[in-house]
Structure 1
Amino acid sequence: MKKLGFLSFGHYQDVPGSLVTSASDALLQTIELAVAAEDIGFDGAYVRVHHFAPQLASPFPLLAAMGARTGRIELGTGVIDMRYENPLYMAEDAAAADLISGGRLQLGLSRGSPETALNGYESFGYAAGDGQTDADAAREKTGLFRAAIDGAGVARANPQMTGGAEGALAIEPQSPGLARRIWWGSGSRATAVWTAEQGMNLMSSTLLIEDTGVPFDELQAEQIRAYRDAWAAAGHDWQPRVSVSRSVFPLVTGEDRRYFGLRGQVDGKDQVGRLEGTLARFGRSYIGEPDKIAEELAADAAVQAADTVLLTIPNQLGVDYNARLLDSVVRYVAPAAGWR
């Protein structure tokens, strides 16, 4: 059994062919697709977070709205760039959205990815401390955020307002259980080990910031093994989850073939390139007849090792098309791949 979710980047642009021409379209259609995905039987609805770009940027109002319109499906992020966040304000927002959803948030966090703005987080009023890297700053903020949602005291009490009581105050509201539903977006085996040591779930996408010459799925499976070994060594008293992302487009209808048929002929291999000066490996897309895709996914070492698979969607094609795409995966691919 695997949990299946979709991952939307929430692109919007007023260009020919797009059914998502504005930020309003992107937000409202994401809510509608979460409702449709729940009806289809999907387990998760996840959104990507990007700043200074025509994409989804502020996840918590959106997650709260999705939570109010659905009743079962998990609601998550993949991922929130912690460089941009105030950890305590974020803890309040996250707890509120989680309470509205009835405890269904699954929050993916990370240091973030290459972006259109140069050090955009500095425009939000944040900067790494002396001697800190961006990764250090993101991890420090994540530590404070996690402590806050776990009920730690983070502010000194004012005895004049607390009847003389002193000590440290926790943020409000609190949402019990949220602390174990935090994921770290890991791009390497080393960060996967760190994620396990910190006691967070592992979220791995279609990009790894390292390359050893082996196929992407095998390298990602190594990352998952390293994570689980480190988790066991750390002695945590609960079982974590591991997700991977894949681009999966079964060609079922003529519309599918018009959109993705040609791409399927040229986009079936890993890609290797440089990202921020580092050699990186990008995973392939799975495009073709459903039985062929199912066979390929059944042989994908990382997909088999993970308990959750997030499917990236072409959100610009609108709710109806994406709902049909998700239905095709559930109806034709998942059973043949042995996922359900």
Structure 2
Amino acid sequence: MKRIGFLSFGHWGPVQGSLTRSARDALLQGIDLAVAAEELGINGAFFRVHHFARQQASPFPLLAAIAARTSRIEMGTGVIDMRYENPLYLAEEAAATDLISQGRLQLGISRGSPEPALHGARYFGYAPAEGEDDAAMARRHTAVFRHAIAGHGVAEADPSFMGGGRGLLPIQPTSPGLPRRIWWGAGTRKTAVWAAEQGMNLMSSTLLTEDTGVPFDQLQAEQISMFREAWAAAGHGFEPRVSVSRSIIPVVDAVDERYFGLRAQVDNRDQVGMLDGALSRFGKSYVGPPDALAEELAQDAAVQAADTVLVTVPNQLGVEYNVKLLGNIAKYVAPAIGWEAPAAQA
């Protein structure tokens, strides 16, 4: 059964037309949107993490607040840039948030995406070791983080404090089940295979940093297929999850028409361009009449291959508009891809 979540980039700023003018607005509106989404039957509330930008940068206070205000909806990230993270502190924060949520945290992590700062992680105190690049450093941090959340010892005990006891101490708290709810944001087929070998779920967005000439959804479906094959070969003993992100805007009334009517009239196709020095393929947006979007998404190969679809929301249009948007997606579009509201599932 398909799951539907929203993915907020958390933009804020005092610009014309924005209803999210400050960081406080972005945080409080994120909580309110998650609460409303749960009432609609939406399965997940996910947030982009981006440093040195007017977006969400420290997700755990937000996710913990959502956990305390809700009872069913998953909450997560898409994605945390592991170059910036102290792996052990991240393990403590993630475990505490997961305990508050009673096991609803779905934590997306990765090497990160292009950013405003030049070598931004260095200002947080992290630089690649000799022979490493940024990607290798992110994977090293990830290995330590995952070792810690699994409850393994990471720090030598002080015998004078421990009454003569020795050994390695684990971080506290720990949260059983959290290690199976870590997702890797993969931008290529090769990275997806690596994530499968490591035993992490797959999070794939509307961008792949490679291009083979086939439509985006087919390239992404191939990425998912390779991930599942590698997962089966690794024999991890549990079923992985796979998410894809899509921009979906059903145009159903005058307000939608005013905001997005022109985009609905544009020939919306994949785009190919250079990003971080790599030829990349960007997925198209789905904007237009709900019945047309439902038909298009039903033919989207990657949407069909994934078990979770994260819908990017225009968060600066405010909570009221985004609740309406999610409601229209749930009513008119999501059933075409195999989603049912939780009440209907029961």
Q: Give TM-score scaled by structure 2 length.
A: 0.97
C-alpha distance in 2 between matches for 1:289 and 1:234? 43
Alignment correspondent of 1:88: 88
Q: Which amino acid in structure 1 is aligned with residue 213 of structure 2?
A: G
**Residue number in structure 1 paired with 2:343:** none
Report the equivalent of 1:191: 191
| 1:10–1:55 Cα contact (<8 Å) kept | yes
Report the equivalent of 1:260: 260
Gaps of 5+ in 1: none
Partner residue, 1:114: 114
Q: Which residue of 1 aligns with 2:344?
A: none
**Structure 2 match to 1:45:** 45
SS in 1 for 2:135: helix
RMSD: 0.7
In 1: Cα distance, 2:109 partner to 2:141 partner: 10
User: Which position in structure 1 is the counterpart of 2:329?
Assistant: 329
Distance 1:337 1:72 in 2: 22
Q: 2-side partners of 1:244 and 1:194: how far apart?
A: 17
Shift of 1:335: 1.8
Amino acid across the alignment from 2:8: S
Q: CA deviation at 1:336?
A: 3.1
Give the SS at the match of 1:272: strand
Distance in 2, matches of 1:77 and 1:236, equals 23
**Separation in 2, partners of 1:175, 1:66:** 18
Where does residue 279 of structure 1 map in the other structure? Answer: 279
Contact 1:267–1:284 (CA under 8 A) maintained in structure 2: no
SS at match of 1:264: helix
Residue 163 of structure 1: CA displacement?
1.8
C-alpha separation in 2, matches of 1:63 and 1:103: 12
Q: Which runs of 5+ in 2 are unaligned?
A: 341-346
- Mapping 1:14-93, distance limit 5 Å: 14-93=14-93
Q: Which runs of structure 2 are paired with 1:219-258 in the superposition (5 Å)?
A: 219-258=219-258
User: In the TM superposition, what is the alpha-carbon distance from 1:253 to its structure 2 partner?
Assistant: 1.2
Q: 2:71, 2:101 within 8 Å by CA — same for their partners in 1?
A: yes
Per-residue CA shift, 1:282-309, capped at 9, x if unaligned?
A: 0000011111000000000000000000
Distance 1:101 1:28 in 2: 18
2: CA distance between counterparts of 1:207 and 1:254?
A: 30
Change (3 A) 1:267 1:12: farther
Does the Cα contact within 8 Å between 2:76 and 2:108 map onto a contact in 1?
A: yes
Measure the CA separation in 1 of the matches of 2:47 and 2:64. Answer: 13
Displacement, 1:268?
1.4
Aligned residues: 340
Conserved? CA contact 2:2–2:337, under 8 Å? no
